[in-house]
Copies of this chain bind each other. A is one copy, B any other.
Amino acid sequence: MPDHRTGGGDPAHTLRLLWRQTGDVPRRGPRPGRSLDDIVTAAIELADAEGLDAVTMRALAQAVGVAPMTLYTYVPGKAELLDLMLDAIYTGMPRPDRSGDPWRARVAAVAADNRALFTAHPWAAEVATGRPPLGPGQMAKYEYELRAFDGTGLDDVARDAALTFVLDFVRAGARSAAESRSAQQESAWTDEQWWTANAPLLAQVLDERRFPTAVRVGAAAGAAQNAAYHPDQAYEFGLARVLDGLTTLIATAKPPQ
């Protein structure tokens, strides 16, 4: 998991790029050969195909068809590029009108939408968004997702906390998946191969009398995970718990009328 994060560049510059308007003043000198969107789109495609680590300035330049240093005429640096990539995929998320559904279905849908985002763009889960890209995509996403809690009786602070709670849960699962994927890519061992390689070695040193519960539960969990697809299981289990937890909160906040 690389130390990629949004909000790494100069705020003023980053915001100008995020909220860029198409109409521009006539400029002197030679016309740019590409557009900023070309760069961002190519970066997203590269990240989708080969992971975030593959998005080096050299590789991206080659994909776009320019020399590495030429990228710096479009983007101040890699930090700003990441903000632009994220905001772009946020912009592309679906936002159907779900005002007729009950809140629980709406929140479940928000979770599913974010999960789908991370499936389509696994690299997005790896990016630290403590300082979110404050662009149009992020704002539209935030606006839409907050609306999922309409009618729950939660106040504004609780509403933000609840959304953060749900999104953090989805992100955590996507991160595990992304980490697993990049681990396989870099170590040339499948997760499964790694476990089967470890099992016999571990059995030699592991004392069942010292760790009885761990050995028993570990075996059961291991068997269950082989039967079905593991990340999906953890997601289903966790999402049910998340929604139940919010249900308890909302039942207290808004007693049944």
Contacts and interface: CB of A to CB of B under 8 A. Distances in A.
Interface in A128-182: 128, 130-131, 134, 139-140, 142-143, 146-147, 155-162, 164-165, 168-169, 171-173, 175-176, 179-180, 182
A146 B213 contact: yes
A73 to B, nearest CB: 23
A194 B2 CA distance: 22
Interface residues of A, number: 79
B156 A217 contact: yes
A234 to B, nearest CB: 6
Interface in A1-37: 1-5, 7-8, 11-12, 15, 19
A183 B245 contact: no
Question: Could you say how many copies of this chain the assembly holds?
Answer: 2
Contacts of A246: 241
Contacts of A182: 3
A199 to B, nearest CB: 10
Interface of A: 1-5, 7-8, 11-12, 15, 19, 53, 126, 128, 130-131, 134, 139-140, 142-143, 146-147, 155-162, 164-165, 168-169, 171-173, 175-176, 179-180, 182-183, 186-187, 191, 194, 197-198, 201-202, 205-206, 210-214, 216-218, 220-221, 224, 233-234, 237-238, 240-249
Contact of A2 (B3, B7, B169, B201): B3
Contact of A179 (B130, B159, B165, B205): B130
Nearest to A237: B161
